[in-house]
Amino acid sequence: MPSLRAPDTTFDSRQQKALLVHDRLCAEYGAPFPFFSTKDPLSELVSVLLSHRTRNQDSHRAYQQLVARFPTWEQVRDAPTEEVQEAISPCTWPEQKAPRIQAVLREISERCGGPCDLTFLAEKSVPEARAWLESISGVGPKTSAAVLLFSKLRIAAMPVDSHHHRVAQRLGLIGPKVGEGAAHALLAALLPPDWDAQQVYDHHEAYMYHGQKCCYFHTPACGRCVVLDQCPFGQERVSVKV
């Protein structure tokens, strides 16, 4: 496997490439992509916390069991932790996630001075809303962006998951040592500032699909990749017939 190289040297060349790749991947995977969630932002936050390193079907079942047992987030917040843990048992590490979710709900209640609710984030700018969420202990840029974009708030904040990150790194949009957390600001800066939530969602989904369906972790299918001509990693890989 070739090694990752330094990113493209100028901001303009990285931006041009990011948008050209966006167009090709959106065409390849069929954008615009329908949003999959209509949750309010707090429900989305809990759902994202449950989904960490968990298969989708398992975190979905944990979420459904949790809301069936506790109809309000205040009830989840105030319940005995063992009962919350039991309700979310289909997800990974319920013993860690139950107290974590309750702590997040308590922190939100205290800071908002009332019921658990995050709809007020719609009144803030994207950076302000992200900063508010990321000031909650344990909430990072991927979670904050997912809450704002995937929930019914539909705010144009871009999450970067492991697939998106890998594709961006191989394309040379970010450097080989840039982790997922730091990649958020660098990749978001390449997007036109007037893009709406659907465009940002399409960008994230298209890169993610490419990671899932072509740019695999171990053996990327560079020979059939629609952005091979833009990818130094793939070109080296194809030239040495890995």
Q: Which is nearer to ligand SF4, 116 or 227 (CB)?
A: 227
Interface of this chain with ligand SF4, residues 40 to 69, rule: CB under 6 A: none
Residue 60's contacts (CB-CB under 8 Å, 6 or more residues apart) are none
End-to-end CA distance of the chain: 6
**Binding marks (x or -) toward ligand SF4, 151..190, rule CB under 6 A?**
----------------x--xx-------------------
Question: Distance (Å, rounded) from C-alpha 206 to C-alpha 188?
Answer: 15
Asked if 25 is part of the footprint of ligand SF4 (rule: CB under 6 A), the reply reads no
In the complex, minimum distance from the CB of residue 228 to ligand SF4, in angstroms, rounded to a whole number:
4
For 46, 47, 141, 240, the CA distances from 19, given in Å and listed in that order, are 32, 30, 22, 28
In the complex, minimum distance from the CB of residue 137 to ligand SF4, in angstroms, rounded to a whole number:
35
Asked if 228 is part of the footprint of ligand SF4 (rule: CB under 6 A), the reply reads yes
Interface of this chain with ligand SF4, residues 185 to 224, rule: CB under 6 A: 214-215, 220-222
Say whether the peptide bond before residue 7 is cis (omega within 30 degrees of 0).
Answer: no
- DSSP, collapsed to helix, strand or coil, labels residue 167 as helix
Report whether 158 contacts 206 (CB < 8 A). no
The stretch near ligand SF4 (CB under 6 A) out of 12-20, 91-99, 107-115, 227-235 is 227-235
Question: Distance (Å, rounded) from C-alpha 59 to C-alpha 39?
Answer: 15
In the complex, minimum distance from the CB of residue 205 to ligand SF4, in angstroms, rounded to a whole number:
16
For residue 154, which of 117, 183, 121 has the smallest C-alpha distance? 121
Report whether 215 contacts 166 (CB < 8 A). yes
In the complex, minimum distance from the CB of residue 189 to ligand SF4, in angstroms, rounded to a whole number:
20
Asked if 227 is part of the footprint of ligand SF4 (rule: CB under 6 A), the reply reads yes
Site residues, ligand SF4 (CB under 6 A): 167, 170-171, 214-215, 220-222, 225, 227-228, 231, 233-234
